[in-house]
Amino acid sequence: MADPSLLALGAILALVIAAIALRGSRKAHTIYPPAVGLLYRDGRFERELPPGRHAWFDPFGRTRLVPVSLAELPTPLGEITVLSRDQFSFRLALAPVLRIVDAQLFAESQQAVEPNPLHRLMPAAATHMALHPLAAAAALEVVATRTLAEILADHDGVTGGIAARLEQAIPGAAVERVLLTAINLPPETRRIFTDVERARMEGQAALERARGEQAALRVLANAARLVKDNPALANLRLLQAIESAKGSTTIVFGNPAAAMASGAPSMPQDPA
């Protein structure tokens, strides 16, 4: 008959080993907002976990947790060559901003749940690969309906048209808006627009100078009319000029030109 103490010791040892095994098979994961967790068991989706700390037992390694961020995700697409309605070729740098509406559909469409890292695409790379051709086609379509001057004057109209065509481009995500980060014009096109803008500004400057000269002539004509109607104003203006003059000033009285025409000797001009 077995010793009861040995049996009790064996039972305690078995319990300790079981507790250690259970502890080792326990998985815990903390999810921080704005992310959620997708729990898969044996390759099949089981449930979505909200932000917080989650723990479960997995003694045979059958589960996998895939975190998915719900934050808005700008996806730079690089430069896309487009052609305007007036046949100007240039490049746009676009960055669609995505909002995740279905975390499971988005993650699975981006192959983000594939356990083998050699066969898994990063979500950003997969999104870029899916969006780039669609954005290029949408940009060509939108830009072809506008002239280059209209595009430069109304960026929002271009990006709004592209965003409308990309709204359902990525499964599980919506394109909230499209950022236009750069418009790169060829050198000859930049030169044309620079020359046009310079000519327009020079014309405005010439017009302003002409308006200023007209205003000055109008003031002088009004002053001449006042002096003609009121001769005393000329003497008053002369006194004001003498009072405000600085330094050595020569004042000539009479009409020297008339005196010279009549042959009379001219008077010497004394400094005042």
Q: Is residue 266 part of a domain?
A: no
Is a pLDDT exceeding 60 seen at residue 103? yes
Residue-wise over 186-216: b if at least 16 C-beta within 10 A, else e? Answer: eeeeeeeeeeeeeeeeeeeeeeeeeeeeeee
How many helices (H) does the chain have, and how many strands (E)?
Answer: 8, 9
Domain that holds residue 114: 73-185
User: Quick one: pLDDT at residue 90?
Assistant: 94
Instruction: Say yes or no: 214 and 166 in one domain.
Output: no
Provide, rounded to the nearest whole percent, the portion of the chain with pLDDT above 90. 32
- Same domain? For 123 and 176 the reply is yes
- Whole-number average pLDDT of the chain: 80
pLDDT in tens, 62-76: 888 988 888 888 889
One domain, residues 65 and 93: no
| End-to-end Cα spacing for the chain | 147
- Is 246 a domain residue? no
Domain membership flag for residue 267: no
pTM of the model: 0.61
Q: What is the dihedral of CA 110, 111, 115, 118, to 10 degrees?
A: -100
Residues 105, 44: one domain? no
Based on the fold, state whether residues 111 and 154 are members of the same structural domain.
yes
198: pLDDT strictly greater than 50 = yes
Say how many domains are in the chain.
3
How much is the average pLDDT of 220-236?
79
What pLDDT, in 10s, does the model give residues 132-160? 999 999 999 999 999 998 998 899 999 99
- Residue 2 belongs to a domain: no
